[in-house]
Chain A
Amino acid sequence: MTDNANTNNVVDEYQKTKNKEELKGHLISFAMMIVATLIAFGIVASGVMGKIYAIPVLVLLAVVQVAFQFYYFMHLKEKGNSMTALLIYGGIWAAALTVTGLGAITWW
């Protein structure tokens, strides 16, 4: 990374192309998120699915969207982010336990 501090224009162009490719990936993941949102709202607005099917599908669509945010928009898929990924997985794990715990207490 320090080598890049004195880059010439050639490397700069390379970097720009790389950034552009990354942006393309982001645009695709944004389109996927919009599609997931449309499907989710569509399911509820049209009422095509019964409650028992609709809720798991809605939750699944939310999880898919969040995965896109984390992995693409927030760069978790990139190399050298294992520690940051570990931190957020820890948070998600504790979050899942919290929601399951509170849900279980109410249900039973």
Chain B
Amino acid sequence: MSHHDVLHPETLPAEPEKATLEGRNKYLGFWFFLGGETVLFASLFGTYISLRNSTADGPSAHDMFGLDLVFIMTILLLTSSLTSVYAMYHMKNNAFKKMMLWLGITGLLGLGFLSLEIYEFTHYITEYGFTFRSSAFGSAFYTLVGFHGGHVTFGILWLASLMIRNAKRGLNLYNAPKFNTFSLYWHFIDVVWVFVFTVVYLMGKVG
């Protein structure tokens, strides 16, 4: 069998993302990366928890945060986690077009989340004059939530380039691990958001 035949079998194996050595290595390596990301976000969360009451007489979490917008953002991102599960389901069934459709929906939900976050930040800046420089709380808030938003932005760009590059390739053992890696990344972004809405918004509202 030639190299090409190995990567393009007649029928896709049960776990196309882990059928090649490269795929397995990518999978393991990506979890290693996620372990590092966990520590990165932990330091930002720790910093935020330490500084969240240092408002320097500026606006506090309790003054500004509203639950409605954050709730919609949460539902958008949670749903996008499910749609990427659907995409991987279709990948395992070798249904390339359906996989691309669900990946597209995932990207759109991510865009929706990002737009609301930008709206939220603009709202704080224009309505409350709450910026990165307002207080230690401001710096910690924008760093933590902005870092998460940055990850969402990066994820959307990653997904878009994956979809464009592979649009005409179809599904094979070469690109299946790529799609799966993105899906893992996207779930992880959702995991981080669960803590953002709990620690920043809900606990901020409680006091």
A interface with B by C-beta (< 8 Å): 1-2, 4-7, 12, 15-16, 18-19, 22-23, 26-27, 30, 33-34, 37, 40-41, 43-45, 51, 54-55, 58-59, 61-62, 65-66, 69-70, 73-74, 83-84, 87-88, 90-92, 94-96, 98-99, 101-103, 105-106
Q: Which of A45, A74, A101 contacts B184 (CB 8 A)?
A: A74
What mask results when residues 1 to 17 of chain B are scored 1 for a CB within 8 Å of chain A, else 0? Answer: 00000000111011100
Q: Judge whether A44 and B49 touch: CB under 8 Å.
A: no
B195 within 8 A of A: yes
Q: Judge whether B42 and A95 touch: CB under 8 Å.
A: yes
Using known A-B contacts A70-B191, A103-B49, determine if residue A41 contacts B71 with beta carbons closer than 8 Å.
Answer: yes
Q: Judge whether B45 and A99 touch: CB under 8 Å.
A: yes
CB neighbours (8 Å) of A103 from chain B are: 46, 49-50
Using known A-B contacts A44-B205, A84-B31, A103-B50, determine if residue A4 contacts B45 with beta carbons closer than 8 Å.
Answer: no
Q: Which of A34, A54, A87, A105 contacts B34 (CB 8 A)?
A: A87
Q: Judge whether A37 and B85 touch: CB under 8 Å.
A: no
How far, in Å, is B114 (CB) from chain A's closest CB?
19
Alpha-carbon distance between A74 and B84 when the two chains are bound, in angstroms:
11
Q: Judge whether A88 and B93 touch: CB under 8 Å.
A: no
Alpha-carbon distance between A98 and B46 when the two chains are bound, in angstroms:
7
